[in-house]
Amino acid sequence: MATADTWQPAPSLPAPRSERGWIGWARANLFANWLSGLVTVVTVPLIAWVLWRIVAWVFGTADWTLIASRPQQYLIGLYPTELAWRPLAGWLLVSILFGMAAAMWGGAARRIAIGYGAITLLLGILPYGMFHEGVVMPGWIRALIVANLLTMAVGYALGRSSHWGRPRTFVVGGIAIYVVLLVLLTGLPGMEQVPPRQWGGLMLNLILAVSGIFFAFPIGVLLALGRRSALPVVKILCVVFIEVFRGVPLITLLFMSQVLVPLALPENFPVDSVTRAAITITLFSAAYTAENIRGGLQGLHPGQAEAARALGLPGWQVTSLILLPQAIRNVIPAIVGQFIALFKDTSLVYIVGMLDILEMGRSIVQGNVQFADNGRELFIFVAVVFWIFTYTMSYVSRRVERHLGVGVR
């Protein structure tokens, strides 16, 4: 033992049992002090009881017939059944994008694609109306729904290929698919026309939300820049626009778009009530987006613009290459929050008499005596559907935020 010439500390003992493992966790998080312990002891049984009641209600008392017997109406509203292949074909195209995203970005995109595929498969094979009459979903519709998994696989293959799997292809393809979808839904000249008035269900909510986001973002950027512009006329116009649209409830604006706007347009002006509602929602959202982006622009150090100018960049490049990317990156959570709000606001189109998923369901409840007491089931179902989409959006936003390192530096 005399050879040991350097002193070695004894290896440290493991933490006491009460400080590690699940006991340690419980001591730190459930029973940190007497108050915390009391709260735990009181709330846990309460929560267990509430959860038990919920489970008992969902699988026992609740009667889901009003949803299980009419899946098609919740998906596409009163779109003619014999033409239902059109929205379904559009859906097949959209699935390509999910497959591509999963292949190109992996991680969160892949998880979302898997969830999306699972829900799609479930929609295709669920035994609707198993215990009740009134199954209105023909076999070919089921087949087309399940076929989404194939197009997802095609998209996945495209995303993997080095030639197609690029963000630019994805964006251009997305826009192209969106346009094709709208044309398909309306019907090409010569085909049977289905005007937007007859669109409905979840499809309508999604179309309104996607168009709203697609147009509200650029308009919002322009308004934000206009509001910060040194040109007084432009600035005043933007301020008035933003403040009027932000100061009045959306429901009032929608209502105006139905009563007032037709009067202010020439007679027989070819803009139907659905388009007017879509434009109103878009402009409303653009005003809020503009304020978010303005917040981002205000948060930037003036040195950024000065340095860019000193390097000789022309004004529009200072804005588009230096200021906007940083400003937008800093306000991603706020902008996504605004888009979530926009998606939730699509439920207001009932003002225009459109049958979105909520109003479709309400008309089913009101139109069928046997469902008169099933309002609760309906609203919970609609809430869950909306929640899946909004929660996914906020999940993506958190991932993107982390990826871009907002707030880390």
The contact set with other proteins (CB under 8 A) reads 28-30, 32, 36, 39-40, 43-44, 47, 230-234, 237, 243-244, 246-252, 255-256, 259-260, 263-267, 315, 340, 344-345, 347-348, 350-351, 358, 362, 375-376, 379-380, 382-383, 386-387, 390-391, 394
* Of residues 177 and 351, the one with the C-beta less far from other proteins: 351
Minimum distance from residue 372 beta carbon to other proteins (Å): 10
Neighbours of 152 (CB within 10 A): 25
Q: How far apart are CA 330 and CA 321, in angstroms?
A: 15
- Owner of token pair 């986001």: 213
* Of residues 85 and 389, the one with the C-beta less far from other proteins: 389
* Of residues 132 and 344, the one with the C-beta less far from other proteins: 344
* Of residues 376 and 403, the one with the C-beta less far from other proteins: 376
* Of residues 37 and 124, the one with the C-beta less far from other proteins: 37
Minimum distance from residue 270 beta carbon to other proteins (Å): 15
Minimum distance from residue 232 beta carbon to other proteins (Å): 7
Minimum distance from residue 282 beta carbon to other proteins (Å): 17
Identify any residues that bridge with 355 across adjacent strands, giving them in sequence order.
200
Minimum distance from residue 169 beta carbon to other proteins (Å): 32
Minimum distance from residue 324 beta carbon to other proteins (Å): 18
Neighbours of 53 (CB within 10 A): 11
* Of residues 152 and 223, the one with the C-beta less far from other proteins: 223
Minimum distance from residue 213 beta carbon to other proteins (Å): 16
* Of residues 19 and 243, the one with the C-beta less far from other proteins: 243
* Of residues 105 and 371, the one with the C-beta less far from other proteins: 371
Minimum distance from residue 27 beta carbon to other proteins (Å): 11
